[in-house]
Amino acid sequence: MQEVTVRRLLDINKQFYQNFGAEFSATRARIQPGTGMIINRLDGHEDILDLGCGNGALARQLAILGHRGSYTGLDFSLPLLAAAGQQADIFPVNFIQADLTRANWDTDLPADNYQMVFSFATLHHIPSEQLRLQILTKIARLLKKEGKFIHSNWQFLNSPRLRNRIQPWQEAGLQARDVDRGDYLLDWKRGGHGLRYVHHFDEEELSRLAEAAGFNVCESFHCDGQGGRLGLYQVWDKKDKGLSK
């Protein structure tokens, strides 16, 4: 994928979350069932890095569960972070504005520090395999040697209703030949008309990404939505647990 196309796809999503951040946040008051299954496995002492933390719904749920480890949430959307920042007097939380697509997003984060790095419904908004691998390599550096990277990706093609929201690339000034296989443009109608770029991952593609970034796929399952097929969750760990990335 050409760099100009990567930038265009990123701009589409930045504009969406800037214009519709409040409306989107209103639809995400609670965490997804699959996310709940993951955090219910925690012992409550893990230091967590949450990439694409949105409005802080995950941090609120961790507080309800009595989590005692630290939590750092990153997101580029100021409207979503404003909603997250309204939380007070819960366990140690820190919300940071950061853009994962920038080379320096991890500069101020300590290496080998986190038992868990979460990225729920975020990786599918990152265009191009090259950019995804750059982010995944940084995640490996931030994880403790026995840490886990746990992520979910939207399986919207499993829903006829969501399939109907797919728009032609011409709506964004692009052609199908400009983007990668699995890339889609979806519309948004709450509070106005918007567009979002989303990549549809399958397990084979995620396995290739894990291998290239130095991870093992430990677990994979579907959850969320009607029929439990709208989210693909995976748990990864480092291939070489004796070395930092």
pTM above 0.85, yes or no: yes
The pLDDT, as a whole number, for residue 243 is 45
The pLDDT, as a whole number, for residue 92 is 81
- From start to end of the chain, where are the E strands? 48-51, 71-75, 93-97, 114-120, 143-154, 166-167, 183-188, 194-199, 215-223, 231-238
**AA letter at 88:** A
- Give the separation between CA 181 and CA 172, rounded to whole angstroms: 17
Which option is the CATH number for 3-238: 3.40.630.10, 3.40.50.150, 3.40.50.1100, 3.30.360.10?
A: 3.40.50.150
The pLDDT, as a whole number, for residue 245 is 39
The pLDDT, as a whole number, for residue 146 is 94
At which residue do the structure tokens 């979350």 appear? 17
Q: Please give the full DSSP string across 170-215, using - where no structure is assigned.
A: GGGT--GGGS-TTEEEEEE-TTS-EEEEEE---HHHHHHHHHHHTE
The pLDDT, as a whole number, for residue 149 is 98
- Give the separation between CA 238 and CA 141, rounded to whole angstroms: 10
Please enumerate in sequence order all residues whose Cβ is within 8 A of that of 137, keeping only pairs 6 or more positions apart, or say none.
213, 214, 245
- Give the separation between CA 76 and CA 74, rounded to whole angstroms: 7
The pLDDT, as a whole number, for residue 205 is 97
Intervals of the chain under pLDDT 70 = 29, 87-90, 241-245
